[in-house]
Amino acid sequence: MAAALGASPPAAPPAVVRPPRELTSSWPLADRLGYWACWATGIGLCAIAAAIVLFMFVKGISTLRPSLFVESPAPSLRQSQSGGFLDPLVGTLIVTAIGIVLAAPAGVAIAAWLSEYGRPTWLARAVESTIETIAGVPSVVLAIFGLIIFSQSFLGFLSQRTVNGTVTATSFLVAGAVMALLALPLIFGATREALAQLPGRLREGSYALGKTRITTIRTVLLPAIRPGLASGIVLGIGRIVGDTAIVVFLLGETLKNEPANGVPLLGTLRGTGSTLTSYVYKNSPAGEGNAPQKAYAAAFVLMVIVLVLNATVTRLTSGGRPGGGNAFRLLKYWPLGR
């Protein structure tokens, strides 16, 4: 016996035994119908998604030229002379940066407070439903709300004043600030979820060493949920990049980024401009419709950005490992022909 245990096993088993395929033919009819309906819906959705991607790809790729990324939009009725979308690209970056810089600390802080302190209870409950409300408000409502707030005279420093003194309430700063409200619930939600999933013994371990709650949050809990924080931020970026209403309302009518007078960088932030979404809208047949081909190209770029962001989230939340998705493995579950 001892000798048998000590002997090294063969390098590989002689043959791999697989379980037989499960057949649906033995199932009740209702179960089989339900099963096929699930398949049909899933495949239908995939088909729609594939159609969107393919359509945008075909429409967009034919107009997409490297020069579009480096040329500013030019006012022209002829599509060939209307320039590229450098400014909208830069505009998207600026709005996203402002939105995330405002939303990330706030979202993380609120989530940490709510899940680690949460006292007094009425305040916690109020904060929670406030965030749910913000998450549920359509962005066009946020946009018009922003228009009212930021056209107040004392907030004039965030945008520009017209000659007769009214505040325009259209600038990168204003749009970014309202965009922060879009991203906030997503960052809050991801942080809170991640904190809730941390085992309680991590907190106890830190308290038992005589650490305060705030030290525990800062040194133990937040570093432990870095993937959660990152995916919340990426979700927030995706939301901001894709929003149109706020840009149309709060970033002005210009396709080119028009800095306000004054300090260079601050001038840009206080000035008007456009993002990819507003560029698509204005150039499409729904807007002024001068350059539909370029709208398709920009829409394609926008879609690629959002898809990349979504893939990043998937990667982050699966702990850095790729999902290991093998499309062919799905065929094992093919319902027909069993």
Partner 1 sequence: MTPPPVRRIAVDREPNVAAPRAPVNGTRPSAAPAGTTRRPATTVRERMRAESLWLAYGENWVVRDVSLPVRQGEVLALIGASGSGKTTFLRSLNRLTEITAGAARSGRITLDGQEIYELEVNELRRRVSMVFQQPNPFPMSIFDNVAYALAEQRPPRGRRRRRRTPELEQAVVDALRRAGLHEEIAGDLDRPALKLSGGQQQRLCIARALAAQPEVLLLDEPCSALDPISTATIEELIVGLRESVAIVIVTHNLQQAFRVADHVAFMHLGELVEYGTSEQVFDHPTVQRTRDYISGAFG
Part of the chain binding partner 1 (CB under 8 A), chosen from 4-12, 29-37, 213-221, 288-296:
213-221
Q: Quick check: 174 and 150 in contact, CB under 8 A? A: yes
Q: Is 124 in the site for partner 1 (CB under 8 A)?
A: no
Q: Is 33 in the site for partner 1 (CB under 8 A)?
A: no
Could you tell me which of 112, 116, 316 has the C-alpha nearest to residue 228?
316
Distance CA 95, CA 250 (A): 11
Part of the chain binding partner 1 (CB under 8 A), chosen from 129-137, 159-167, 200-208, 253-261:
200-208
Could you tell me which of 136, 149, 151, 238 has the C-alpha nearest to residue 187?
238
Nearer to partner 1, 183 or 190 (CB): 190
Distance CA 323, CA 310 (A): 13
CB of residue 276 to partner 1, shortest distance in Å:
38
Nearer to partner 1, 121 or 326 (CB): 121
Part of the chain binding partner 1 (CB under 8 A), chosen from 54-62, 78-86, 212-220, 281-289:
212-220
Using the CB atoms, write b or e for 282-318: b if 16+ within 10 Å: bbbeebeebbbbbbbbbbbbbbebeeebeebbebbbe
Nearer to partner 1, 34 or 223 (CB): 223
H/E stretch holding 29 reads: helix 29-63
Part of the chain binding partner 1 (CB under 8 A), chosen from 8-16, 72-80, 127-135, 216-224:
216-224
Q: Quick check: 225 and 194 in contact, CB under 8 A? A: yes
Q: Is 203 in the site for partner 1 (CB under 8 A)?
A: yes
Q: Quick check: 172 and 91 in contact, CB under 8 A? A: yes
Nearer to partner 1, 103 or 108 (CB): 108
Q: Please give, one letter per residue, the 3-state secondary structure of 244-286.
A: CHHHHHHCCCCCCCECCCCCHHHHHHHCECCCHHHHHHHHCCC
Nearer to partner 1, 105 or 205 (CB): 205
Part of the chain binding partner 1 (CB under 8 A), chosen from 18-26, 164-172, 220-228, 245-253:
220-228
**Which residue in 86, 220, 222, 303 binds partner 1 (CB under 8 A)?**
220
Q: Is 212 in the site for partner 1 (CB under 8 A)?
A: yes
264: cis peptide before it, omega within 30°?
A: no
Q: Is 205 in the site for partner 1 (CB under 8 A)?
A: yes
**Which residue in 24, 63, 215, 293 binds partner 1 (CB under 8 A)?**
215
**Which residue in 166, 197, 219, 310 binds partner 1 (CB under 8 A)?**
219
Part of the chain binding partner 1 (CB under 8 A), chosen from 182-190, 196-204, 229-237, 268-276:
196-204
Q: Is 210 in the site for partner 1 (CB under 8 A)?
A: yes
Q: Is 106 in the site for partner 1 (CB under 8 A)?
A: no
Range 316-335, binding partner 1 (CB under 8 A): none
Taking the CB of residue 48, how many other CB atoms lie within 10 A of it? Answer: 10
**Which residue in 32, 211, 256, 315 binds partner 1 (CB under 8 A)?**
211
Distance CA 247, CA 172 (A): 9
Q: Is 43 in the site for partner 1 (CB under 8 A)?
A: no
What region, left, alpha or beta, does residue 59 occupy, with left being phi > 0 and alpha being psi -120 to 50 degrees? Answer: alpha
10 Cβ contact list (under 8 Å, min separation 6):
none
- Which residues bind to partner 1, rule: CB under 8 A? 199, 201-212, 215, 219-220, 223-224
